[in-house]
Structure 1
Amino acid sequence: MSDYNTTQKNISIREIQYQDSKGQNLVGFFASPEGESNLAAVLVCPEWWGRNDYVENRVRQLAEYGFAAFAIDMYGDKKIAEDASQANEYMMSTFDPENIVVDRATAALNTLTAQPEVDASRIAAIGFCYGGKVALDLARSGADLKAVATFHANLSAQTPAQEGTFKAEVVVAHGQEDSMVSLEDVDAFKQEMQHAKVKHRVDIYPNAKHGFTNPAADENARKNGVDLGYDALAEAESMDALYALLDRVLK
């Protein structure tokens, strides 16, 4: 097991306002080890609930470990959703026109790399559920990323990865009991990666459902009547895999 959750640094945090190419106001959440510079950095793409406490906690953990990290705002004005119907409405609004996802993720990436603490040559992107698709689509667009890690993610591509364009190494964490992203979807993703000659690994976690890294998943499932579930073991193992990837690729 890694020591990512016991390695503690004092961190500084701030909100950063930025805009997409259409002028939409976006508000990201940045954290980094206090007083440090030339840092490898991680772009953190939220679940369809938006830039909420869960994703901000992931940013703090990354900063306490030693990375700069930035939770991106995909909906504008840091809107978050409390129920699944609202989350779905917000998410679907970023699929039409289809370039909104990449446009807003690119704006966030440019904002992250412009921060004085950050080494722009050492950037990774991670994403949870909908955010996994955001991170992957950013890499598919040719962004200069060293790694992408996803957790219970939508793996589908509007524009499939192309050899030479997709630069990141990929690690996917997927729950075997995920009823929203099927094992057939995972196989299709593997084929996409193989065709584009992308270095990738897919870890399947037995008994884990969609949302397995989020301690609020069971309550979200109860409130919304959707098939989510938290799995502490799958969360711990997939986070170990994430930090091992980041240590190897970014440091």
Structure 2
Amino acid sequence: MKTTYTFLLILFFTATATTAAAGGQVVAYDVKGEAFEGYFTSPADNAPLVLLIHDWDGLTDYEVKRADMLAEKGYAVFAADLFGAGVRPTEVKDKRQHTGELYKDRERMRSLIVGALDAARARGARVNNAVAMGYCFGGAAVLEFARSGADMKGFVTFHGGLSAPEGQDYGKTRGKLLILHGTADTNITMDHFAMLANALEEKGAPHEMIAYGGAPHAFTVFGSDRYRKDADEKSWKRFGEFLEETLR
């Protein structure tokens, strides 16, 4: 969940693929003939890459803001689109529909993330020196990608979905995992948090898991009544440290 920065939405997502905004560009790309619209920013050639996956609102100005914040730290960022060009749901029923379709079709979810990486590669991004991260639904998608055995150096979730479908595990996971969660999250509870810890330990997947006291679901979303400044700043700091440790 996130609030909407109306001006930025208009600026970024009515733009063409070559329109620059806040140092980045809206990027039109295809995955198996379907149209998608991401956002790419890079402060320098050969910068390490962060692949950013949106929450259930789709790719909006929130992810663009986070991408620009990462670019200021020296990282290239490709903010993926898993819903399709122009699909930015605002009603809860529509958000549930679009996320539900991908939860039911995990192969499609994975292929769309691979398609976003391909689009990043086409922009000159260093996909062999990359970390995937996501918020809420995006966090669940990142863990799905981790379980697929994707060749990424790290996987990071902020208040993301933590459950795995039956029959999936972390035996193929190749990168380090960083899980940033809130103990007051009633959507994804500390029971889910503990289950994930056990699943990662069982398969020997390198991981770090941090829970922030009093932080509800979506605690990083600026302007929301769920926003928790302390948890947001601490989790962002640890994320920055993780990137420094993981990417070269």
Structure 1 partner of 2:242: 245
In 2, the alpha carbon distance for the partners of 1:38 and 1:78 equals: 30
Matches within 5 A, 1:68-147: 68-116=76-124, 118-147=125-154
What's the CA shift for 1:20? 2.4
Unmatched runs of 5 consecutive residues or more in structure 2:
1-20
Aligned to 2:231: 234
Paired with 2:201 and 2:192, the residues of 1 have a C-alpha distance of 14
Question: How does 1:158-173 map onto structure 2 within 5 Å?
Answer: 158=165, 160-163=168-171, 165-173=172-180
In 2, Cα distance between equivalents of 1:120 and 1:20: 17
* Amino acid in structure 1 at the alignment position of 2:74: G
1:19 to 18, 26, 30: 30
Match for residue 175 of structure 1? 182
Contact 2:23/2:68 (CA < 8 Å) preserved in 1? no
Q: Confirm whether residue 212 of structure 1 aligns to residue 219 of structure 2.
A: yes
Q: Secondary structure at the match of 1:94?
A: helix
Q: Report what 1:60 is aligned to.
A: 68
Q: Is the 8 A contact 1:32 1:64 kept in 2?
A: no
Q: What is the TM-score when the length of structure 1 is the normalising length?
A: 0.86
- Letter matched to residue 153 of structure 1: G
Counterpart CA distance in 2 for 1:99 and 1:233 is 37
The CA distance in 2 between the partners of 1:39 and 1:113, in whole Å, is 12
Q: Quote how far apart the aligned CAs of 1:113 are.
A: 2.8
Local SS of the residue matching 2:220: coil
Find the aligned partners of 1:161 and 1:121 in 2 and give their Cα distance.
23
- Secondary structure of 2:42's counterpart equals strand
Fraction of identical pairs, as percent: 26
Taking the aligned partners of 2:144 and 2:178, their CA distance within structure 1 comes to 14
Aligned partners of 1:114 and 1:120 also within 8 Å: no
Q: 1:30 corresponds to which residue?
A: 40
- Cα deviation, residue 101, structure 1: 1.1
Counting matched residue pairs gives 227
Q: Hey, what's the Cα distance between the residues in 2 that align with 1:197 and 1:48?
A: 30
Secondary structure in structure 2 of the residue aligned to 1:42? strand
In structure 2, distance between residues paired with 1:130 and 1:43 = 14
Give TM-score scaled by structure 2 length: 0.87
Query: For residue 94 of structure 1, what is the amino acid of its counterpart?
Result: L
Runs of 4+ with >6 A deviation: none
Contact 1:19 1:26 in 2 (8 A): yes
Partners of 2:170 and 2:102 in 1: CA distance: 23
Distance in structure 1 (CA, Å) of the matches to 2:66 and 2:92 = 21
Structure 1 distance, partners of 2:49, 2:185, is 29
